[in-house]
Amino acid sequence: DVNALGTGDVTDNATLMLNTGGDFTNNIGGTGRVEKSGDDALTLSGSNTYTGGTLISGGTLVANDVNALGTGDITDNATLALNAVGDFDNAISGSGKVEKSGDDALTLSGSNTYTGGTLISSGTLVASNVEALGTGDVTDNATLELNTSGTFDNAISGSGQVVKSGDKMLTLSGANSYSGGTLISDGTLVASNVESLGTGDVTNNATLELNTGGDFTNNISGSGQVVKSGDDALALSGANSYTGGTLISSGTLVATNVDALGSGDV
């Protein structure tokens, strides 16, 4: 029962197993571990300080506070739902799924290895590490903000938007299908697959580098520059309105629309 431990604080220096649903509001401290079992959804809403880690073996564990799961690592073999604001820096591993809910912006900053995928149902999920979202697919139905460098190769689908922030260079290499568009607010976003930016429009206010071949049909607007790199031939077929100019550094760039290269210099 969610009320089984009364209303006071819990000092866990061994293992606290929670096989119940509901809202567990007791604060949890100590050196021990918390285990979530059973099929129910359980919410931890306290600002907890336990250090022994968290195991989710069944059901859904909801964290309503960025500190709800203490300071230890998380092994997620079911569902971890994050309905919180701030920086969630616990390392997440396991075969389970991570869900981002709630209207707030939440940052995942760890180098995570969970394999069950990520669902963004509302708000903004910020990845400040290229490995923050583990190795599974991402279903983005709200906003995924990528403030990191490196190569992000998770497949991205859903109705949501992808935002590239930060002054670093980030590569999207997957054949992605998200439809909510792409915003490049800073740095360089490299598309190494003609489908990397999904099916929506691209607002480029920094640098969009296209290192791929094929037909890039997304419309491009914004104040930023488009760079064509790589040896392949790439066609731009949209009626584009970006103003930052176009740089062809290698390969062939084909304009199949008189407005394909925007209004800037080439």
Token duo for residue 217: 């049909």
Of 111, 123, 119, 60, the closest CA to residue 86 belongs to: 123
- Entry pTM: 0.97
Interval 111-167: pLDDT, tens = 999 999 999 999 999 999 999 999 999 999 999 999 999 999 999 999 999 999 999
Interval 20-76: pLDDT, tens = 999 999 999 999 999 999 999 999 998 999 999 999 999 999 999 999 999 999 999
CA distance 207 to 190: 8
Task: List, as own/partner pairs, every contact residues 246-254 make where C-beta atoms lie below 8 angstroms and the sequence separation is at least 24, other chains included.
Answer: 251/213, 253/228
CB-based burial of residue 167 (10 Å sphere; 0-12 exposed, 13-18 middle, 19+ buried)? exposed
pLDDT for residue 92 is more than 90:
yes
Token duo for residue 108: 């995942």
CA distance 69 to 17: 13
**What are the sequence ranges of the domains in the chain?**
1-72
